[in-house]
């Protein structure tokens, strides 16, 4: 499980880095926003998938909103391999049409808004 956890940490780093790059190109280039975004990325393990959300939190610690970034396949099944990155079909389910990459590969590409489209 350690390799999986390390690969998920790398994925979270890549997501946060893409957000920081977005901020650098925009008028909202506050570095603190990038750090806050990275801290708000949340892992929600289920039976088949690891759901990655962005849990927006107010200054007083209250959760104000939650957006699904995407899902990661936890184990091999008849269609996907462990570590496959899946887009969200809804808040509680991934799109099972095709993986957008695999966290164990070095060549996947993601955006801070979610896994890349096909």
Nearest-5° Cα angle at 6, 49 to 42: 50
Report whether pLDDT(26) > 70: yes
Q: Where are the domains of the chain?
A: 2-106
Least confident of 26-40, 56-70, 100-114: 26-40
Q: How far apart are CA 59 and CA 39, in angstroms?
A: 13
pLDDT of residue 67: 93
Instruction: Report pLDDT for 29.
Output: 61
Q: Are strands 85-86 and 63-73 parallel, antiparallel or unpaired?
A: antiparallel
Q: What is the structure's pLDDT at 55?
A: 87
pLDDT band at 65 (very low <50, low <70, confident <90, very high): confident
Q: Region 17-30: what's the mean pLDDT?
A: 81
CA of residue 117 relative to chain centroid, distance: 14
What is the pLDDT, as a whole number, of residue 31?
62
Q: Is 22 left (phi over 0), alpha (psi -120 to 50) or beta?
A: alpha
Cα–Cα nearest to 103, from 37, 13, 30, 31: 13
At 101-114, the pLDDT tens digits run 999 998 899 999 99
């Amino acid at each position: 499980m350690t390799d999986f956890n390390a690969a998920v940490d790398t994925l979270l780093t890549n997501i946060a880095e893409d957000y920081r790059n977005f901020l650098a190109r925009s008028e909202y280039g506050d570095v603190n926003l990038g750090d806050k975004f990275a801290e708000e990325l949340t892992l929600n393990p289920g039976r088949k998938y690891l759901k990655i959300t962005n849990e927006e939190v107010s200054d007083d610690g209250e959760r104000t909103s939650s957006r699904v970034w995407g899902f990661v396949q936890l184990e091999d099944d008849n269609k996907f391999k462990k570590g496959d990155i899946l887009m969200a079909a809804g808040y509680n389910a991934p799109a099972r049409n095709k993986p957008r990459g695999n966290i164990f590969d070095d060549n996947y590409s993601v955006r801070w808004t979610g896994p890349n489209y096909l």
